[in-house]
Structure 1
Amino acid sequence: MFFRLLAECHPDFARWYEKSSSARKALQLGFEPTRETFLKFFGREKYKSGNDGFRFGAWTGHEAQDQGAMLMLACGSKAEFSPNFLWLFFPKEALGKERVVTAPVVSGAMRALAVAWEPEWAVATADGLWDELSGGSRLGCFVGWMTYFSRERGEVPPLPAPVCVETVGDEGTLVTLTPERLTPSNPEHVALAWRTQKLLEERGLFRLMVHPAAIRRS
């Protein structure tokens, strides 16, 4: 379901290749993201993680000055420390960024993730803003350009403009800080992110994704 919904966001997400050590080899590993395909992937030794987990990487296959998007996911593990995640990396190159990293596409990807995977929390953000707002932790919970909260996290309060708060079906709420792409080099964007994060923290929406006890045991 996730790949189908993602393809509806932008044509670039309509084709996928297994991740490999080189672009040339990866371009020979195209696949249709169907249930039957992933049942085969689940059985491959190279995608096994530990005794019970599954780790997989895929790429949209764009080359040259437009490197496309990449996806990494892990699921099925019984480990307490970061057992399940999905990372979708958007293009960093100018051509790909201008075409794909837009509010409608990113919002669509966030909704696809929420509907297909039902996460507790998800964030779409730039590297610099991630580093600043997360306090250096990839296991906590923080705000980004777009932030998704499941209903189990609590109710998202009304937030001051230009922040947009929208429901995602019955699953949860999507918070979008600005209609334009949020950038860590823009001090107004950073200040808005901090203000919004503080308001959401006060409502108890930023509990840790991984309990510190699990981190110590790892």
Structure 2
Amino acid sequence: MAKKPATEAYYAGAYWGPRRETPEECATRTADLLTHLATCDSFLADWYKPTQSLKDARKYPLMPPDVPALAEEFRRGVNRERGGPVIEQLGFNFWFGNGGEGADSAELRLTCGAFSEAIPNSCVMMLPKRGANAERVLSASVLTEVVRGMASAWDADWALATSWEHRELLEAELRTGTFVGWVTYVSLRRGTVPPLPAPVRIEQVEGKGTLVILTPERFTASNPEHVALAETVRELLSRADLMRPVTDSPS
């Protein structure tokens, strides 16, 4: 009997260039994102402050979003040299989870308010890998809404949802900082998405940008047709000058 291939692990991420923002501004954007995520799937409706244990985390919910409380978390997440002053240009970091365990969990990692070309600002969600929650969340419909929410809340330049295995295949594209995933978002600041081949679907995001959904079924790096389609779309978007790096450094 042939060995069943390992399940791919997926993530969603939004990236944008230098943008100096206050902890309050970052908190407001985070609150908008969390409110949107709660409408995407019940698995993404509960989030908790980081603590030493899951049991302790459930004592400190982040939902419903409290902007002053979130702003305080960002203030605590400043970057500084050991014993030295705050490095303002590197912005703030904040990470937290949804209370799940192991492969049945989600986590958000935020870097925002940075105004250095050395690193991009980002909002990255680690997605569940196995179980009933993963079966629901790892779908084109849910991930399209997740990416939509990330792109809109953070006014991102580029965003996507895809598997880590797919990302690992794309060393050349990663050097440029952007590539095409299962679901990809491109800001209108970069230009207009050209016509794309079936089965690719295009949706608009509140006048801010364009979503490109490659396939209605689950995209996998182990499917050569999926990988080839992603490369075809990347070439078309590159010709339209939409795949420029977010910063001078790879995302």
Report if the CA contact (8 A) 1:133-1:194 is conserved. Answer: no
Task: Tell me what 2:248 maps to.
Answer: 211
Q: TM-score, normalised by structure 1?
A: 0.88
Asked whether 1:81 is paired with 2:81, we answer no
Shift of the 136–114 alpha-carbon distance from structure 1 to 2, 3 Å rule, reads: closer
In structure 1, distance between residues paired with 2:58 and 2:130: 19
Task: Tell me what 2:38 maps to.
Answer: 7
Task: Tell me what 1:23 maps to.
Answer: 54
In structure 2, distance between residues paired with 1:73 and 1:138: 22
Shift of the 175–109 alpha-carbon distance from structure 1 to 2, 3 Å rule, reads: same
Deviations 1:79-125 (A, max 9, x none): 22114111011101233320211112111111111221110111111
Q: Report SS of the residue matched to 2:185.
A: strand
**Number of corresponding residues:** 210
* 5+ residue gaps, structure 2: 1-31, 81-85
Task: Tell me what 2:79 maps to.
Answer: 49
Asked whether 1:58 is paired with 2:96, we answer yes
Report if the CA contact (8 A) 1:76-1:83 is conserved. Answer: no
- 86-95 vs 180-189, which moves further: 86-95
Deviations 1:108-152 (A, max 9, x none): 111111221110111111011112235373760100001100001
Report if the CA contact (8 A) 2:93-2:109 is conserved. Answer: yes
Task: Tell me what 1:142 maps to.
Answer: 179
Task: Tell me what 2:21 maps to.
Answer: none
In structure 2, distance between residues paired with 1:182 and 1:204: 25
Q: TM-score, normalised by structure 2?
A: 0.77
Task: Tell me what 1:112 maps to.
Answer: 149
Report if the CA contact (8 A) 1:16-1:30 is conserved. Answer: yes
In structure 1, distance between residues paired with 2:183 and 2:43: 21
* 5+ residue gaps, structure 1: none
**TM-aligned CA deviation for residue 25 of structure 1:** 4.0
In structure 2, distance between residues paired with 1:206 and 1:84: 17
- 69-78 vs 136-145, which moves further: 136-145
Amino acid at match of 1:115: S
Percent of residue pairs identical: 40
In structure 1, distance between residues paired with 2:72 and 2:34: 16
Aligned-pair Cα RMSD in Å: 2.0
Q: Report SS of the residue matched to 1:85.
A: strand
Amino acid at match of 1:84: N
Greater RCO, CA 8 A, separation 6+: 2
Which of 54, 63, 72 aligns to 1:40? It is: 72
Amino acid at match of 2:226: H
Q: Report SS of the residue matched to 1:31.
A: coil
Shift of the 55–101 alpha-carbon distance from structure 1 to 2, 3 Å rule, reads: same
Task: Tell me what 2:208 maps to.
Answer: 171
Report if the CA contact (8 A) 2:47-2:98 is conserved. Answer: yes
Amino acid at match of 2:101: E
In structure 2, distance between residues paired with 1:192 and 1:174: 16
